[in-house]
Structure 1
């Protein structure tokens, strides 16, 4: 009787492990994505011009254009999942999303947790501030300022904390909220990526300007779980092929009126 009871418990444990494994693999792997016919992409969705909603509430921008290229090459549709920027990488590592695309910059620290695709843009940290201010030349000139940044951003929060000397650091889920507080004089300056800064100044940032110098220039890429090497390889092939076809410069020109300098 004890023997049968032991076998029953063993069978129950094995069943749980199998079910658990099945659940974890639901959003992982290139073949799984192709079988579903969609790729689930996490994004903040509020970081123009990399990713933001248009008048029809459709996500557009540099990330969106490259996501479309990737999805077309894989032969699948896109399912966007909008989350706070700081939740993207944890969501990738836990298997909640297939990839993340949200103006995410390549850093050594992030490489410890996830893999990056081939970069599809270049960015660096700059300061946005009222045009009457004459004392700011680069992000190094934030001493005694109330500084707004996107939480977890490598072109905002990270360099600002490294520079230090600020009066107060205010963190936001996206650059749109940080810039709104700049306009409402709740922060003195905003430190963010040059790509986002240039787009905002061009479209709605009247009365503000960008620092002449930037720091921490690096590539922008998709983030993928380290467990999904086949997916990373497929995405890299799609990006490299599109670059060879001129999409790198074409997409930069579309959103920034300039091309990326590497």
Structure 2
């Protein structure tokens, strides 16, 4: 079974779990929400889902980290809801990534020390040993595997978002975007995918895509709301979260973040430092006991669920030298 197929199975199980666990959620009580949208707690008091220590897995943690008693995790916390962003106090870092890191730290019997940082410094700090691991929407690539080890916990997907009153119901393949006006961020994987699709359409005699670029996310949504664009193509977590909390948009299609190649999001550690195996086992533990499902449901990311964690799966291929 492919990783993408396993994610579909896992998502179905998560949906069943959310139904079984339906009821008042103290994390959601009193949380702000947009009209017709889902309530999400963005206060500093997160009351995170927690897990119990598993002694056999905790014993696998490298001795220096065990003796220190804390797991130092780097994440980019500037403003990327629902993955990692600032709470209403503009200080506390919250989101799906900190929540999953907390579950892992709990299973390993360690205190979580979260270190917000820049994307560039995240990799340098893990390579130097300043941080034990990175939880920050990191895609597994063959090039990164030269320096780092990975334990997967989400499927990497990109999605198309349209207004709820749009006549567009499904975007799944190149012909579905022919003739549409679509916004996408320059220099991203999703732009590469859309450019390839547009090239195939033009070769087949179909109408071209009209590309529109904006400086920030707010501009994309103003353009979508005003009808200047038909769709916004971007990272699934941000789009799915926006659609859920705003109630004004919907997701009409998702593809792998690697385009034709399946892609995985993973916790990242320094190569061969002995931490990746206990990370994988901790992730498998919280996937099996349902706490992982609670976190993804909380942040509207059930579509990116995996059935189990993998160590160093095939990553996105190396780019050919120019």
TM-score grouping bracket, smaller chain normalisation:
0.5 to 0.7
CA contact (8 A) 1:126 1:138 kept: no
SS of 1:79 mapped into structure 2: strand
Distance 1:242 1:125 in 2: 25
1:38 and 2:70 matched? yes
Q: CA deviation at 1:256?
A: 1.8
Q: How many residues align?
A: 219
Give the structure with the higher percent helix: 1
1:114 and 2:156 matched? no
TM-score (norm 2): 0.56
The one of the two structures with greater contact order (alpha-carbon pairs below 8 A, sep at least 6) is 2
1:241 and 2:285 matched? yes
Aligned to 2:238: 196
CA contact (8 A) 1:43 1:80 kept: yes
SS of 2:263 mapped into structure 1: strand
Aligned to 2:54: none
SS of 2:185 mapped into structure 1: strand
Distance 1:130 1:114 in 2: 40
Q: CA deviation at 1:124?
A: 1.0
Q: Which runs of 4+ in 1 moved over 4 A?
A: 129-136, 142-146, 165-171, 184-190
Gaps of 5+ in 1: 1-28, 152-156, 172-177
Gaps of 5+ in 2: 1-60, 199-209, 308-322
Aligned to 1:222: 267
TM-score (norm 1): 0.67
Question: Highest CA radius of gyration, 1 or 2?
Answer: 1
> Where do 1:154-173 residues align within 5 Å?
157-164=188-195, 167=211
Q: Please, which of 261, 278, 294 is the counterpart of residue 250 of structure 1? A: 294
CA RMSD of aligned residues (A): 3.5
CA contact (8 A) 1:40 1:99 kept: yes
